[in-house]
Amino acid sequence: MVRGPRKTDSQMVTCYSGFVFSIGFVVGVFLALMSSKVQDYPARTKRVDRYVSTDDFYGLWLEKQGVTSRKKLDIDRDAYDPNYDHSSNLESTLLFWKVKVACAVFSGNIQNSYAVASSWGEKCNSIRFYNDKADSYLMSTGIAAQPSTWEFLCLVILDLLANVPAQWYVFAKDDVYVIPENLRYIVAHKNSSKPFYLGRNAFFWGTLFNTGKTAYVLSRGAVELIARKFNSSTACKKSSKYSKNEDYLMGKHLTELGVTAEDTRDEEGRERFHVFSPSQLLAPGHEGIFKKYFSTGIHPTVKGQRGFSPTSVSFQGIQRDYIFLYDYLLYHVKVFNHNGGYGNNLSRTYHQSDEVWKSFVSESLGPAYNVSNVSSSDYYRLWELWHPPEEFARKLRAEFLNKTGER
Ligand SMILES: *[C@@H]1O[C@H](CO)[C@@H](O)[C@H](O)[C@H]1NC(C)=O
Ligand SMILES: *[C@@H]1O[C@H](CO)[C@@H](O)[C@H](O)[C@H]1NC(C)=O
Ligand SMILES: *[C@@H]1O[C@H](CO)[C@@H](O)[C@H](O)[C@H]1NC(C)=O
Ligand SMILES: *[C@@H]1O[C@H](CO)[C@@H](O)[C@H](O)[C@H]1NC(C)=O
Ligand SMILES: *[C@@H]1O[C@H](CO)[C@@H](O)[C@H](O)[C@H]1NC(C)=O
Ligand SMILES: *[C@@H]1O[C@H](CO)[C@@H](O)[C@H](O)[C@H]1NC(C)=O
């Protein structure tokens, strides 16, 4: 008798506080929109579906850039229709100029690094490879091997701050595939002067951090904060008590500076920073490696397409060949969204096949020869018999010029 109502009370309280939270959030967002100052959504909510989606923020940001109309690119017409209007700009181009992304790549395998340099690395506004010894092709920055990976990272941060101006900094090993366009899309509305820390959330020793297995991202504001705390190579050296886990230490130091690793999943809870390769995530099997990761990962890894956000930013575990493959699939394959009609039109250089061989015959026998006297069956019979083309032309001359005598 007593338990019943109590339970109801507590449920009501839960509902009520949830309600207040929602209103506060909605009002907060509403006010933010009214003053056209786009604030960032709270870093962590229990529900993943947010009241304002990344796309809403992005839409507002576009408006602020003076983008008045958007239309979907008709890939079919863009590729094949000579009358298609190419004057409008792609959003990816706008984003490239407005949201400056610098990529810091930790070079482990030189072949992978070369692949990165000629694939996704080109999509960064600037890229810098770091290695323990400089490579002339990559123009990598040599930082002598440090006993501690944190010290190495700390020196990289100092180098970036001094030499590479950007709004956002991507940190990735060379077995990671990054899609900078999608990163720009999710951060465009954020003020990069403020500290932001994005990536795949993990938890270790009571600290929320972004794992270095896949790429993680710092805003200029966050890089400055770190560099203020560790403002010299001596400070970097002094701060490195542990030899490994520089990603965890980054999280620890940023947490101490009041910066929390943000939940980067999309509204449907799909990850954007992946600690596995697409094939590991999509194909059956691989349970062993998943299990190993689950111990530190915060959100469950969902296998199959439901686990991917369409605005995914990075994948891990990609070797050289696959880096090229993904580059090809993402940037060069044309996928037609409707029937692909224009792609199936005859090309402008198309000729009837008998026009082709007749012009060849005419070339071989001279313009005076009446080509109508050579039938297509004659032609193909001879083509089969006489190869290569020079031999063919000679025989053709012998057969038809001698037979007809016409010149
Ligand atoms: C971005 O943040 C910085 C630092 O907080 C601030 O000074 C600046 O006014 C902000 N810019 C915009 C456009 O809100
Ligand atoms: C580095 O920071 C320390 C305090 O954290 C300060 O005493 C020192 O002057 C700073 N050095 C430089 C070069 O800014
Ligand atoms: C090309 O294909 C489109 C769509 O199927 C069609 O509307 C158009 O008339 C075609 N153009 C030519 C020159 O065949
Ligand atoms: C070529 O030959 C065809 C029939 O074999 C004939 O109809 C045509 O008039 C000829 N053309 C010329 C230019 O002699
Ligand atoms: C071309 O062929 C026609 C019939 O096939 C023939 O009557 C004519 O004489 C030929 N012309 C020459 C120049 O051989
Ligand atoms: C056929 O023509 C070639 C040159 O085109 C000539 O050398 C050859 O003697 C001719 N043969 C006959 C049988 O007329």
**Domain holding 221: CATH number?**
3.90.550
15 shares its domain with 83: no
327 shares its domain with 358: no
Short-list 214, 187, 182, CA closest to 296: 214
Residue 129 to residues 138, 285, 313, Cα–Cα distance (Å): 7, 34, 19
Residue 326 near residue 318 (C-beta atoms within 8 A) = yes
Vertex 241, ends 239 and 247: CA angle to 5°? 80
Residue with tokens 């929390």: 260
245 shares its domain with 384: no
- Counting ligands in written order, the one closest to the CA of 399 is 6
Range of the domain at 357: 353-404
Ligand 1, atom 6: nearest CA belongs to which residue? 193
Peptide bond connecting 388 to the previous residue in cis, omega within 30 degrees of 0: yes
Whether residue 52 is contained in a domain is answered as: no
Domain endpoint, select from 331, 365, 388: 331
Residue 312 near residue 271 (C-beta atoms within 8 A) = yes
Q: Report pTM.
A: 0.69
Residue 395, ligand 6, Cβ within 6 A: no
170 shares its domain with 281: yes
Residue 134 near residue 228 (C-beta atoms within 8 A) = no
Domain endpoint, select from 268, 298, 331: 331
Residue 277 near residue 317 (C-beta atoms within 8 A) = yes
Instruction: In whole angstroms, give the CA distance from residue 48 to residue 12.
Output: 22
Whether residue 373 is contained in a domain is answered as: yes
- Counting ligands in written order, the one closest to the CA of 77 is 3
Residue 398, ligand 6, Cβ within 6 A: yes
Ligand 3, atom 5: nearest CA belongs to which residue? 341
220 shares its domain with 268: yes
3-state secondary structure of 46: coil
378 shares its domain with 272: no
Whether residue 269 is contained in a domain is answered as: yes
Instruction: In whole angstroms, give the CA distance from residue 240 to residue 235.
Output: 9
Ligand 4, atom 6: nearest CA belongs to which residue? 372
Whether residue 339 is contained in a domain is answered as: no
Instruction: In whole angstroms, give the CA distance from residue 294 to residue 353.
Output: 61
Whether residue 222 is contained in a domain is answered as: yes
Residue 196 near residue 187 (C-beta atoms within 8 A) = yes
Whether residue 318 is contained in a domain is answered as: yes
Whether residue 388 is contained in a domain is answered as: yes
Number of neighbouring beta carbons within 10 Å of residue 122: 13
Whether residue 18 is contained in a domain is answered as: yes
How many structural domains comprise the chain? 3
Ligand 4, atom 14: nearest CA belongs to which residue? 370
179 shares its domain with 216: yes
- Counting ligands in written order, the one closest to the CA of 395 is 6
3-state secondary structure of 220: helix
**Dmax over Cα atoms in the chain, in whole Å?**
119
314 shares its domain with 358: no
Compute, in angstroms, the gap from residue 231 CA to the centroid of ligand 2. 6
31 shares its domain with 132: no
Q: Which atom of ligand 5 is nearest to the CA of 403?
A: 14
Cβ < 6 A, ligand 4 pocket: 370, 372-373
200 shares its domain with 234: yes
Ligand 1, atom 13: nearest CA belongs to which residue? 191
Short-list 90, 94, 312, CA closest to 186: 312
Residue 265 to residues 185, 226, 273, 276, 364, Cα–Cα distance (Å): 13, 25, 8, 15, 67
150 shares its domain with 218: yes
Residue 100 near residue 167 (C-beta atoms within 8 A) = yes
30 shares its domain with 82: no
Residue by residue, pLDDT tens for the chain (407 residues) are: 333 333 333 332 222 222 222 322 333 333 233 222 223 333 333 345 566 788 889 999 999 998 888 888 777 778 777 788 877 788 889 999 999 999 999 998 999 999 999 999 999 999 999 988 888 888 888 887 778 899 999 999 999 999 999 999 999 999 999 999 999 999 999 999 999 999 999 888 888 999 999 999 999 999 999 999 999 989 998 887 777 889 999 999 999 999 999 989 888 888 899 988 888 888 877 777 666 665 566 777 777 777 888 899 999 878 888 999 999 998 888 777 666 677 777 766 766 767 777 787 788 777 777 878 777 777 777 777 666 777 777 877 877 776 654 44
